[in-house]
Structure 1
């Protein structure tokens, strides 16, 4: 693997390494720091270190400058039972922090310290990548929902969020206009089988085909039950343009008596 940044063979003999080679920018969020580690490791799934038994911990590479020798050293760190163990990986000698982090991860992989977690026996997700996708699909406050809500709110409409239109029916709509009796659902392309973007999983395809079909049947039942109770249902796909979807919602709300 070739990393960005010029590699040095014998450290910085005549001057200290530049801060950009090892020091991160102050004030970054935890999410930004995690993303930096994910990129350097080649993906989050490659950041796991085995700990006690069959357990795994998410590790990070830390860069430290040794002023006396003018060298940057890489360490692997993780959390385990309230402790923060570390393992020395070796010196890194690139001009950028990104390249040195990547070099540190390469050292950790070469030593057999990190890698992807094995799939638990009987897991419904056949791989780490599938489980990552599932975790990324949040139940509420997704980006499409937030954009839609922002536009609709700016248009002067008020609504309730993540509420059951019918208290006795266990169905939660993303936006609920109680006076107009309009329920809006923002449907994820994977979970609800979007005809434009849904692609069946290659592994456990029978399971996922059955799962998505059940979700679609549930959606149809929800629409029917709400219509019978006098509600208007608007369904928005997550891939839709938020402005177009918002206009559709606004038109339906205004059209209600």
Structure 2
């Protein structure tokens, strides 16, 4: 196992800057949805998992997941850290389990759930196509 190349204090500062809301991928999804005339609510605390975008009219929740943090299968951004795997592997596995439980609970409450991955937000036209598929729109 290789040692971390930065001090614990610096690593803590780096990690504290990682945001959970209003991330660049989330903002891209919000922008495209707004362009398409889709109106939504953000981070509804009354719904399990606090979905990133909620479309009450469509009974739809969209989660915008970071490929690394939520373990996007076969994605180059979902790499596994080489150091401190005893820390990272359980942490990342808990994220996946929490996601699964939240999605299941929302579906049981009558919501449709969609995931948009960080890597899907890199190309605006592909993102638009993905959102159209989610809503089954021909805009």
TM-score range, shorter chain: 0.7 to 0.9
Counterparts of 1:12-23 in structure 2 under 5 Å? Answer: none
User: Which entry has the higher C-alpha Rg, 1 or 2?
Assistant: 1
TM-superposed deviation, 1:150: 0.8
Aligned residue for 2:95? 215
Higher relative contact order (CA 8 A, sep 6+): 2
Aligned residue for 2:8? 119
Matches of 1:157 and 1:172, distance apart in 2: 19
Counterparts of 1:13-162 in structure 2 under 5 Å? Answer: 118-119=7-8, 128-129=10-11, 131-132=13-14, 134-162=15-43
Matches of 1:118 and 1:248, distance apart in 2: 41
Aligned residue for 1:231? 111
TM-superposed deviation, 1:254: 5.0
TM-superposed deviation, 1:176: 0.4
- Structure with higher strand content: 1
Residue by residue, what CA displacement relative to the aligned partner does 1:168-203 show, whole Å, maximum 9, x if unpaired? x54111110011110000111221112212222222
Matches of 1:170 and 1:228, distance apart in 2: 11
Answer whether contact 1:148 1:243 (CA < 8 A) is retained. Answer: no
Matches of 1:131 and 1:210, distance apart in 2: 22
Structure-2 change in CA distance of 1:118 and 1:155 (3 Å): closer
TM-superposed deviation, 1:249: 2.6
Instruction: Give the TM-score taking structure 2 as reference length.
Output: 0.79
Answer whether contact 1:226 1:232 (CA < 8 A) is retained. Answer: yes
The DSSP-based 3-state class of the residue aligned with 1:173 is coil
Residue by residue, what CA displacement relative to the aligned partner does 1:98-154 show, whole Å, maximum 9, x if unpaired? xxxxxxxxxxxxxxxxxx97426xxxxxxx35751x234211111111111111101
Matches of 2:12 and 2:117, distance apart in 1: 21
Answer whether contact 2:40 2:56 (CA < 8 A) is retained. Answer: yes
Matches of 1:118 and 1:156, distance apart in 2: 47
Unpaired stretches in structure 2, ≥5 consecutive residues: none
Aligned residue for 1:109? none
